[in-house]
Amino acid sequence: MSEVPKVGIAVIGGSANMNAKFPEDFPSVEVLTKDVVYDTPFGASAPFTHAKINGREFLSVPFHGITNYIKNTEPNSAGERVFYVLWKAGVKKILGTALCGSSSRLLDPADAVIPDGFVDYTTKRCQAFYRALESKGVEVERTSYRLHQAFCPELSKSLYMNVKKAGFPRVFQRGVVGVAEGPHLESPDEVRIRYTNAGIDVVTMNLVPEIYFAREIGACYACVEVVSNYGEGCVSTTWEGKMAFSDFQAMWARPTGQALLDTVAETDPESDECGCMTYRWKSIFG
Ligand SMILES: [Zn+2]
């Protein structure tokens, strides 16, 4: 099995940059290794690409590390496997992306949101990376953390500028994400009662456990949520699956990928000026 390289930055891909041959088919990207599966205590990882842009090395994994064989629910989930690799790599900055549905009536498909808040409605996701590691006999320092500034303000600012540059019609520099368990989309009543009425702007399925595990391993996290459909019952019911997913990806996966890469290119993995890491500490339960 391959050894995980020491790399400071990671891109956790999602449906928003899927099928765009990310990152190898983008300008100025130098691929160092492609489609490498790493051994983890949770099973083999999804294939990672190790690449470089503007002198910045990064690891990239598609679709949150979910494959035909790897689920997003515990045990041995995509999140546990991906973060074992990122932890071993020493990653300090993580960029994520996902398609989402709107639950705010102000949003339209192709709007992009750089979130500054989230509410976790999932029920089957791993909640603590250190517990997952300990269940496999891996020794790890237990950390506790606050979720103040869960989204890194510095990374988010850089991502916002680059998503704007990539050509999205409207980009919002704040917004609250509701994380649904899925895999089904939401009913109209769920969208209205659980999300819209609660002040949630967009609904997605894969921000969790990434945002928790990032802080646990000591990495900043930011993401771009791209609206691909109206939430059920929200504004219009005329959309179809092909329009919201495959046709949508054909238009927006490349701009999403370019924005992620432009952000990697200007990210200093060693910078801690954002202060995110002051919100985690060694657990007293250790
Ligand atoms: Zn930060």
CA of 80 from ligand 1 middle (Å) equals 21
Quick check: pTM over 0.95?
Answer: yes
CA of 255 from ligand 1 middle (Å) equals 24
Reduced to 3 states (helix: H, G, I; strand: E, B; else coil), residue 70 is: coil
CA of 92 from ligand 1 middle (Å) equals 9
Q: Are 195 and 231 in contact (CB under 8 A)?
A: yes
The tokens for 172 are 């919002």
CA of 98 from ligand 1 middle (Å) equals 20
Q: Are 202 and 151 in contact (CB under 8 A)?
A: no
CA of 248 from ligand 1 middle (Å) equals 31
DSSP, res 191: I
CA of 179 from ligand 1 middle (Å) equals 21
CA of 278 from ligand 1 middle (Å) equals 10
CA of 135 from ligand 1 middle (Å) equals 29
CA of 117 from ligand 1 middle (Å) equals 14
Give the model's pLDDT for residue 86: 98
The tokens for 278 are 């002051």
CA of 234 from ligand 1 middle (Å) equals 34
CA of 17 from ligand 1 middle (Å) equals 23
Give the model's pLDDT for residue 286: 63
Question: For residues 208, 210, 214 and 219, what is the CA-based torsion angle, rounded to 10 degrees?
Answer: -130
Quote the CA–CA distance of 70 and 148 in Å, as a whole number: 31
CA of 230 from ligand 1 middle (Å) equals 31
Quote the CA–CA distance of 104 and 239 in Å, as a whole number: 16
Q: Are 181 and 194 in contact (CB under 8 A)?
A: no
Beta bridge partners of 146: none
CA of 269 from ligand 1 middle (Å) equals 10
Helices in 90-192 by DSSP H: which ranges? Answer: 129-135, 153-165, 188-189
CA of 111 from ligand 1 middle (Å) equals 24
CA of 3 from ligand 1 middle (Å) equals 27
CA of 189 from ligand 1 middle (Å) equals 36
CA of 188 from ligand 1 middle (Å) equals 36
CA of 155 from ligand 1 middle (Å) equals 7
Among candidate residues 33, 12, 252, 5, the one with its CA nearest the CA of residue 155: 12
Say how many CA atoms lie within 13 Å of 240 toward its Cβ.
Answer: 4
- Per DSSP, which regions of 205-252 are E strands? 220-230
CA distances from 258 to 18, 151, 232 (A): 12, 20, 30
Give the model's pLDDT for residue 1: 67
Q: Are 219 and 104 in contact (CB under 8 A)?
A: no
CA of 57 from ligand 1 middle (Å) equals 18
- In tens digits, the chain (286 residues) has pLDDT values of 689 999 999 999 999 999 899 999 999 999 999 999 999 999 999 999 999 999 999 999 999 999 999 999 999 999 999 999 999 999 999 999 999 999 999 999 999 999 999 999 999 999 999 999 999 999 999 999 999 999 999 999 999 999 999 999 999 999 999 999 999 999 999 999 999 999 999 999 999 999 999 999 999 999 999 999 999 999 988 888 888 888 889 899 999 999 999 999 999 999 999 999 999 999 987 6
CA of 245 from ligand 1 middle (Å) equals 31
CA of 218 from ligand 1 middle (Å) equals 10
Quote the CA–CA distance of 219 and 47 in Å, as a whole number: 21
Which CATH number describes the domain made up of 9-273?
3.40.50.1580
